[in-house]
Structure 1
Amino acid sequence: MTADLPVRPAPAPSHRLMITVSIMMATIMQTLDSTIANVALPHMAGGLSASQSQITWVLTSYIVAAAIATPVTGWLTGRYGRSRIFLVAIAGFTVMSLLCGAAANLAEIVVARLLQGAFGAALVPLSQSVMLDINPPERHARAMATWGMGVMLGPILGPTLGGWLTDNMSWRWVFLINLPVGLLSFAGVWFYLRDEGAARKSGFDWFGFATLAIFVGMLQLVLDRGDQVDWFESIEIRIYAACAAIALIYFIIHTATVGAASFLNVNLLRDRNFVTGTAFYFVVGLLLYATRALLPPMLQTLLGYPVVTTGLVTAPSGLGTMVAMLVAGRAVGRLDERLIIGLGLGLTALSLWQMANFSPEITEWGVAWPGFVQGLGLGFTSVPLTTLTFSTLDRALRPEGTAIFSLSRNMGSSIGISTMQALLTRNTVMMHSSLAAYVTVGALQARPDGFDKVFDLGTRAGLAGLDAVVQNQAAFVAYLDDYRLMMWLTLATLPCLLLMRVRKRSVAAPQEEPLHIAAE
């Protein structure tokens, strides 16, 4: 057990820096790949002779595999050691990136992406666990600020980088860019990171893992495929949903009956900070990814922004996140963490309120400023939230805890994107019907701006042009409704902060044993 291991001093700053750089490269590489391929899908479809619906499996396979593999990270770490799993994950992810870039057909790239997601699932939770262990408790906030920048900035910068690589080089470089990063990260972990103590030869709860994997995988398929096949009107979605529900019921009953032998360590559920923080992180994932999925299409399809301009006006969100994390990393430990989280949620709600008041005449600055404010909000939320979530959790539970923590963000992002996209489609149809009821020949002729002269309503082309204008306005209103809903959801989470306990600062936290540092 970790309690029996000798206490060692904190690693030398140079070694800690090398470990941090190495594992953060791996983290950014993995989080970047969750969104970098999105903008390249049309080019992939042409290059691989795939339809638009078929090429989406490049995204789906990665997301589903990562979601299923994430919960098993804790057991693998305890069984084989953290550094070994880290090295295997980095090597596997890098090799699969090479195979993605070299794929000659749809089947090859889908299989490669499936394995890439499975290998990459461990990178984010393991990097968080290592960052907590190589830093003493008083440096945890700054460590989580560094880690959080990698987790948050990757998905934000992914579409911009992916678009640039696709336009200036080839869609294959969306994956091949991982090769130098993966090699450097592997070398750093190989030389500087070592595990201490014998690995735990604990048994594996295959039934618990299988039921959880089926639930997560089926739920991901429901969320990813639902919007394409009209949700529960489709037999496919009903089958996925039924399998997910049955698997979840079996998993809950199994976990409640087998106790300590369960795949999900029940001790995690006894820590109030961890449970509440994980729920908050679910909301953070929902807000981050859902907004990122809504804003670029709105700017490009409704406002006519080019890809490069879209990337530029959305980039300030990442800048705001970076600034806020640096500030929050220094503020945690001096201020009540719940106050900082409350500030972050308040800024996030403010930015969503600004987005809910967009107009078709919005300027580029009018788009960039709310994004910067939202970035500040997410930065001020994530750093103290991560620190507070793990402040009361036993060190032995960190590998499993960080895996569940990362899973909650991924599930939140999937549910958020799917739900907001479904609401967008539904509200667009409803708003189109409402607006169309007011668009009559008499109403157009009564307008003083001569709008009826723009379209020849006596021809199909004129009617189609007018319908396109109505559809554009309906879609714009539907986007605003989504932003408004996310604003209210953010405000509704604020009272839950009272459920979290603040660490006592009057008693110095004991020095925790860091990982062994090679060549120390």
Structure 2
Amino acid sequence: MSAAATSAIGPEATTFFERAMVLATATLTTMLVGMMLVVTSVIMPQLQGSLSATQDQVAWVITFNIIAIAVVTPLTGWFANRFGRRNVMVWSTLGFVVATILCGTADSLEVLVLYRMIQGVFGAPLNPLSNAIVLDTFPREQHGTVNSIYGVGVVVGPMMGPIIGGYLAEAYNWRWAFVAVGFVGTLAVAGAWLFIRDDRRAPPRRLDWTGFVALALAILCFQLMLDRGERLDWFASYEVIIEAGLAVAAFYIFIVHSLTARRPFLNLRLLLDRNFAIGLLLVLIFGMMNFTPMALLPPLLQNLAGYPDDTIGFLLGYRGFGAFLGFFASIWVNKLDPRIGMCGGFLIQALSGWMMMAFDVNLTSLDVQLTSAMQGFAVGMIWVPLVVATFATLAREHLNEATAVFHLMRYIGSSAFISISVAVVLHTGQENYARMTEFVSVFNDALIDPSWAGPWGLDSLRGLASLSGEVGRQADMIGYINAFTAYTVLSLAVLPLVFFVRVPRRTQGEDGAP
């Protein structure tokens, strides 16, 4: 098919094969972006040793990538209107693949962080643009079905990342986790070049730089505050105070400017659509729930339970199996009422969180497999009705901008709650370590009697070191349990919002009609 084919403005202008190839390309692209969001969670211990970085320094490999994605995502609508969907899709995919391969060649932490930022910049438009292209390529009555297929890429990508990354890191080294994904990404580049024909563009307009810079600064400062707060003792640090102040001021400027400008960077009047406004809140919390276990479980399993990289990736891969089942189940549930799928998904997430709250340092593979599969199933159940309900009442001409905001909220929720959860783990772990060491005393009979104390005696340096390590391990486990408690509470707290979603009236012949 010619790359210069004329633009298609709807499903009636394409054949079934063309629509199928567009859906396959969009799904693959979204899956690759999702994989690279979380692949570093499994290989971080190797990164730390290979690049001579501390634990907080190596975390910037993840944080800067998410920040870049969050900042550039709102530009998707402007890029598409200015340069055309096809051009943006092709060049963004190509830039993303090149940056991914370059990540595997980095020889220092600074260079790797730079490449991850470039990767995030090029990857940011891919999710919302793919979503908009899929919705425009297929008739509205088929959106439920195609969103189920497209959603496989949204959810399975972050789940396949740890499996592939863990295996390659264990068998070879961390560099292959990037290079292998980059080579697979060439298929996405070819698919975008051959099959994406939608090259529509709106009349050119000036970019609202005031709104963009204000929003970017607000997101950047807010994320830096969350990432640096625990290490710097939060508002006891002038750096955190400055970051918080800049975030509030920039967000205030963005809101006021967007409401008063003739052509704002993001049209806040879209929030007047009830389903879209509620959908943004729901996808914010969905993002919090989706990625957080993927960030918390690898260090828990590695540092506290002693699992190797490839085993951790395999265990987390059960999320993918659950997600497949959840997406297919959501097709049928969506025929009844999308709110049923969302409520059921959040309840299953809460149940998995309650089960994780019972974890200890002796957790088994079955514990992780079961909770991971449940979380994947819940995500699959939530995603399809959430997308359908959010965009059900929006006009097609708003899809570029609306999908960009939709995915922006998902990324903000993910990055913010990961930072908050890590802060909870570190802070409460340190608190519990201090409390537990109060019981390490010569007056504690359990530590005096060798038959009880075992290797944790107080009469040798080896015994004290062993005891300190075990106390730290138990204290860290309490920190993880506290983070899982926050995960569970948030999964339940979102439920009332679901009932405010307006269910569009179905007509005979629509997907999901009786």
TM over 0.5: yes
1:219–1:241 contact (8 Å) kept in structure 2: yes
- What residue number does 1:404 align with? 405
Cross-structure match for 1:175: 178
Aligned to 2:145: 142
Q: Distance in 2 between matches of 1:55 and 1:446?
A: 37
Following TM superposition, by how much is the alpha carbon of 1:282 offset from its aligned partner in structure 2, in angstroms? 1.0
Q: Aligned letter for 1:73?
A: T
Quote the Cα distance in structure 2 between the aligned partners of 1:156 and 1:335: 28
> Secondary structure of 1:502's match?
coil
Alignment of structure 1 residues 7-156 onto 2, 5 Å: 9=12, 11-44=14-47, 47-48=50-51, 53-156=56-159
The aligned amino acid for 1:469 is E
Please give the secondary structure, in 1, of the residue aligned with 2:165.
Answer: helix
1:282 aligned residue: 284
Deviation of the 1:120 alpha carbon = 0.7
Q: Structure 1's 288 and 7: CA in aligned 2 closer, same or farther, altered over 3 A? A: closer
Task: Kindly state the Cα deviation for residue 40 of structure 1 after the two structures are TM-superposed.
Answer: 3.0
- Quick one: structure 1 residues 467 and 485, their matched pair in 2 at CA, closer, same or farther if it must change by over 3 Å? same
Secondary structure of the 1:102 match is coil
What is the aligned counterpart of 2:329 among 324, 327, 330?
Answer: 327
- RMSD, aligned CA: 2.5
Cα displacement (A) at 1:230: 3.5
Compute the displacement of 1:24 (Å): 1.8
Q: Which moved more, 1:116-125 or 1:263-272?
A: 263-272
- The 3 A distance-change label for structure 1 pair 207 and 326 is same
- d(CA) in 2 for partners of 1:182, 1:29: 7
Helix, strand or coil at the partner of 2:505: coil
Q: Please give the alpha-carbon distance, in whole angstroms, between the structure 2 residues aligned to 1:48 and 1:446.
A: 40
| Farther-moved stretch of structure 1 (163-172 vs 383-392) | 163-172
Contact 2:222 2:247 in 1 (8 A): yes
Kindly provide the CA deviation profile for residues 384-437 of structure 1, in whole angstroms up to 9, marking residues without a partner as x: 111111111111111111111111111111111111111112211222333334
- Aligned counterpart, 2:224: 221
1:257 Cα deviation after fit: 1.6
Q: Quick one: which amino acid aligns to residue 327 of structure 1?
A: A
Are the counterparts in 1 of residues 276 and 391 from structure 2 also a CA contact under 8 Å?
yes
Greater Cα offset, 426-435 or 137-146: 426-435
TM-score (norm 1): 0.90
1:196, distance to aligned residue in structure 2 (A)? 5.4
CA offset digits 1:97-123 (Å, max 9, x no partner) = 233233344444333222211111000
Distance 1:56 1:367, change over 3 A: closer
| 8 Å CA contact retained: 1:341, 1:385 | yes
- Aligned match of 2:451: 450
Q: 1:330-356: CA deviations, max 9, x gaps?
A: 432x21110111111111111111111
Equivalent in the alignment of 1:517 = none
The superposition leaves residues 429-449 of structure 1 with CA deviations (integer Å, 9 ceiling, x where unpaired) of 222333334454444349999
Between stretches 115-124 and 430-439, larger displacement belongs to 430-439
Matched residues, percent identical?
Answer: 35
**Structure 1, unaligned runs of 5 or more:** 511-520
1:80-101 per-position Cα deviation (integer Å, ceiling 9, x unaligned): 2111111111111122223323
Tell me, in whole angstroms, the C-alpha distance in 1 between the residues paired with 2:448 and 2:317: 40
> Normalization by structure 2: what TM-score?
0.91
- Give the conservation status (yes or no) of the 8 Å contact 1:144–1:329: no
Cα distance in 1, alignment partners of residues 450 and 354 from structure 2:
32
In structure 2, the CA distance between the partners of 1:21 and 1:429, relative to structure 1 (3 Å rule), is: same
2:254 match = 251
- Which of 314, 317, 321 aligns to 1:315? It is 317
| Unpaired stretches in structure 2, ≥5 consecutive residues | 1-7
1 CA distance for matches of 2:111 and 2:444? Answer: 56
Letter in 2 for 1:127: S
Are 2:275 and 2:502, in contact at CA under 8 Å, matched by a contact in 1?
yes
Q: 1:179 to 1:473 in 2, by over 3 A?
A: closer
